[in-house]
Amino acid sequence: MPELVEQMYCSQQIVIPPKFPYILKRYCKAAIKTQPYDLLRWSFEYFKALAHKRPPPVKLRLEYPVYSTEGGLTRGCLKVLANQLAGMQMVPLDICKAAWRGFCLDPEELRRIFCLCEVYKRAEYVSFLQFIAVAGGMLTKSLTHTMILLCETLTKEPDGGSAAIPVHDFLIMYRFLARMDASADMKYVNGFREGWKLPVSEEIEEEEILKMDEITDVERLKQLSVAKFGSSDVHVAQEGMVAGRQMSITSGEFIVAHIEKEILEYIDDQIAILPDPDLKKKKAKPEEVAMIRELLETFLDENMDIIVPELEEVEEEEEPIPDITVIYAVPGIGGPVDEETIRVFEEYAQEACKVQADVFMPRNIRHFMCPPLEKYEEYVYEDLGPKTKKESLQQREEVPVVGKMTD
């Protein structure tokens, strides 16, 4: 019995860290305000951010409804993401993914944003303003409302203020979104929009590089031939017929036979010009012929890699499955805006910011003198065809009545 008494615990024996209740209270408040989809993963990202002294993925207030897009992105998430990534003009994609993962958002939605920013599988960094602008476009129904949302997201003023941001940042985001075409569904294959082609200059450079490689190989063979045989008339390879089939310039069999023939002819020519007539009648002994052939074979074996570069036989690999990303129409970005509309609005913004300390705010967009930010399509009513004068008068005089007409 005494042993059991010694093992019992009481409130005085349990030591609670003094900061634990405060940390737990803040964690509970953050979880209630954020309403994460995956509480366990969000908790990991929350405490990881606190350990690294970074802003945690916590919304400023509870949002209702919780989700406003298919990927789970909301205005509150966008505001916190902007605060977490602020201070970097070019943000590494890994940091964007970590911040996105902290809110337990859909990675497919992030991939669509990267594709619209033209950085998916093409770059390691994304512009901060472009990333926030495209993400904001996912939450609205028109380009005008998107620009108002971006002002409210990037402003450093408290809630309820004028939501002013530098006019330079505003115009950068506006130009980027106005020139983008997101009015219809589209596909991105391995990070490139479907139907995208290399610029003409890049195609020309690629062809020139291939031609230079071929010229370099031919010149190297010619130089080797001249260096070994002392004559520029010796050609290492040329097209011909061997054993009833056509041989190309890269055929090792043809090149070896051609070089051997050239060497023997060169030896015969040297013997023919000897001054002693008796030496001309002499024939080479079999030992001398064998020695020459052995020297020739040794030379060819040592330099075959240079004379005839071996082509590595590479097994045909299966083509990798392309990475296809489908992006649905984004009403918050819409179709491209004509340059005249962009120019007129930029002039208005530059004129308005002169008396506002170079900042632009939503009230400038709502002002009656503000030119349109985008092109509005007017609804075209169906034409029912020409009507006679009598039919038009009857249609105007018709009045809806209820009940029966009596005397």
Q: Where are the domains of the chain?
A: 208-307
Q: Is the dihedral of CA 67, 73, 78, 84 positive or negative?
A: positive
Confidence of residue 399 (pLDDT cuts 50, 70, 90): very low
Q: Helix, strand or coil for residue 32?
A: helix
Using one digit for the tens of pLDDT, what is the confidence trace for 26-41? 999 999 998 888 899 9
Q: Is the dihedral of CA 83, 84, 88, 93 positive or negative?
A: negative
- Whole-model pTM? 0.63
Query: What integer pLDDT is reported at residue 96 of this predicted model?
Result: 92
Confidence of residue 143 (pLDDT cuts 50, 70, 90): very high
Residues 332 and 136: their CA atoms lie apart, in Å, by 8
Query: What integer pLDDT is reported at residue 125 of this predicted model?
Result: 92
Residues 32 and 62: their CA atoms lie apart, in Å, by 7
**Is it the case that residue 62 has pLDDT exceeding 50?**
yes
| Highest-pLDDT range among 69-73, 182-186, 386-390 | 182-186
| Two tokens, residue 321 | 């499955």
Confidence of residue 282 (pLDDT cuts 50, 70, 90): low
Using one digit for the tens of pLDDT, what is the confidence trace for 187-241? 888 888 877 665 544 444 555 655 565 555 545 555 555 444 444 444 444 444 4
277: preceding bond cis by omega (within 30 degrees): no
Query: What integer pLDDT is reported at residue 236 of this predicted model?
Result: 40
Residues 212 and 203: their CA atoms lie apart, in Å, by 15
* CB within 8 Å of 283: residues ≥ 6 apart: none
Average pLDDT over residues 98-103: 90
**First-residue to last-residue Cα distance in the chain:** 109
Among 49-53, 106-110, 224-228, 256-260, the range scoring the smallest mean pLDDT is 224-228
> Which residue is associated with the tokens 């690294």?
52
**Is it the case that residue 406 has pLDDT exceeding 50?**
no
**Is it the case that residue 138 has pLDDT exceeding 50?**
yes
Residues 401 and 134: their CA atoms lie apart, in Å, by 53
Beta bridge partners of 240: 247
Q: Which helix (H) or strand (E) holds 348?
A: helix 339-352
Q: Helix, strand or coil for residue 96?
A: helix
**Is it the case that residue 61 has pLDDT exceeding 50?**
yes
Confidence of residue 327 (pLDDT cuts 50, 70, 90): confident
Using one digit for the tens of pLDDT, what is the confidence trace for 350-378? 999 988 889 999 999 999 999 998 877 65
Query: What integer pLDDT is reported at residue 79 of this predicted model?
Result: 92
Average pLDDT over residues 244-249: 44
Q: Compute CA 257 distance to the chain's CA centroid, rounded to the nearest angstrom.
A: 53
The string of DSSP codes covering 360-400 is E-HHHHHSTTPPPSSPPPPPPPPP-----HHHHHHHHH---
Q: Report the amino acid identity of residue 117.
A: C
In this structure, are residues 160 and 200 in contact, taking their beta carbons and an 8 Å threshold? no
In this structure, are residues 234 and 262 in contact, taking their beta carbons and an 8 Å threshold? yes
Average pLDDT over residues 66-80: 81
Residues 58 and 77: their CA atoms lie apart, in Å, by 8
